[in-house]
Every structure is written in C-alpha cells, then in structure tokens.
Amino acid sequence: MTTPRVNLKNPVLAAALAFLVPGLGHFYQRRIFKGVLYSVCILGTFFTGLSIGHGQTVYFNWQSSENRTYAYLCQFWVGLPALPALAQSQMRASTAFDVNYVPKHFETDFSGKLAGSGDLDGQISGHIHLKPQQPDMPHLWLGELTATLTTAEGPLAIEGQVEPRSLEPEVAPSRERHLVGTFEGNVQGEPGRAVRGTLEGHIPRSLWDSYGAPLRDARLNDFAGEQTDLDRAHLELGSRFELGVVFTMIAGLLNILAIYDALEGPAYDDDEEESQASRPPPDPLPAVT
C-alpha cells in the first residue's frame, strides 16, 4: 500500500479506539459509514451471542489446562464489552466465588416462596437483611425478613428470622442469587400467629457481580449428582450455549479486521486509480457483417 486516499489521522490511536469499541476508531477518522457498519454488525453479533447464551457465553478461565476458555482468545478482540470477563477472573477476591459468604451487613430485595407452613404457604416479596453471625465468621450468616406473603386468604405482612441453608456466591453468571433458608416469624399485627417454613427465592446481583462472571466447572464435592455452573448451562441451554459462543467469537474475529482497517486504511490508493485512468481504452470490437 502507498498513501491512502482517506486521512487516517493518528492510525495507532484509531486502532486502539477500534479495539476498545468497534467502529469508534473509524468515527475518529471521520469514516462515518464504516464506523456505523462495524459498530452495528460487530456489537450486534456479540450481544446476540450473549443473549442466546443467557449472558453466560463470555468468560475467562485459564486455571486448568482441561477447561481453558480458548474461545475467549477470539472474544477478547471485541474490546470493552469482553474485558469485564478478564477482570472478573483476575481481579476479584477468591471469596467472591464462595458459597454462603456474607462478609458484611446488607439489605436487598427478596422474592420467592414459603413452603411447609400449612395454610400460610405462598409467594413472598419484600426485603431481607443479611449479616454474618460473627465478624470473623463470614460463611455463617443470618437473615431478617420483612415481606408480603400472598396466600389463599390474601396478602399478609410478615416478619421474622431466616436461618441459613445455602446462599449462592456473590459473583456468578446470573442476575439472581439463589437463597434457601428456614423462616420463623409471625404475621404483623397478630403476634400470636406464627409463620414457619422453608424459604426459597432470590436476591438480585449487580451487573458488576454477574456480567462476564466465570462459570464454575469444578465440583465442590465428589459426588456424581452435583452440577457445576458449566453443567447447568449446557443442560438448560443445550446447543444454544455453543451457538452463543460461536456468535461472540465471530464478533471478535471481525473486529480484528476492523482494527487493521483503522490502522492501515482502505485497500486502494491514488496511484492505483491514476494508473487505471491513464491506461488507454481497449480497441473496439470489429463490426460484424
């Protein structure tokens, strides 16, 4: 290639911008059509793959040679949309992936169901306050629940204590954190009316705690019935999981081409056009008599 027809400005900066956000380097170079084309096509393909895989198809795991995420070597080139997966794997504390880990007090929304309490079984929605039993015992927690219990007789306001059974890790590839415990309390305004049963439901995860989170692919206990995060993803999604991975890989590979185009410019130059313009026209075909 010789001097390109378009003004590439600072090609290295343009290539860096094209890596961070597909199409951004071309917008910087005032190549608006290509910027829109790359942005829509590459980001559209990437987030379509994420959607197909329910947000679980882009994650980074390099700890075990048997389960390394080689697909991420392609996904990485999408730039900022793929970088949180690297941050989740390398920058988060190991305790963020521990079951039943509650290092400090926090209050959050809760939705689920109460079972085993007879005529007071039903759906629950409200707020739960979780805290460690002792400051130095973050894996043993307690909960205080204030919620509305919807039963056959109508909605009831309840409050009480939640004894722990299981709480999913703080970081996982889902916007909901599964919680199971034993509830013991009463109906507000009716102190003598006790409510007891098994509580099961979800508390929300933030986007930072779920986007790009690695899927656990090692069993915590050695028995065949346990499912890892990767097992569950394949079971729930089937072939859609692999399809989502392929879409996100294609998006990353396409952005490599976009980055190169921002760095080197289009594949034509002025000299080539001038040589074509100076070339004499072809001889006319002889007339047919």
The string of pLDDT tens digits covering residues 162-190 is 999 999 999 998 899 999 999 999 998 88
Q: How many CB atoms are located within 10 Å of the residue 223 CB? A: 7
8 burial via Cβ count (<10 Å: 0-12, 13-18, 19+): buried
- Res 113: pLDDT: 94
- Res 268: pLDDT: 66
- Res 219: pLDDT: 59
- Res 241: pLDDT: 94
- Res 20: pLDDT: 97
- Res 79: pLDDT: 97
- Segments of the chain scoring below 70 in pLDDT: 1-4, 64-66, 218-226, 268-289
CB 187 within 8 A of CB 157: yes
- Res 274: pLDDT: 47
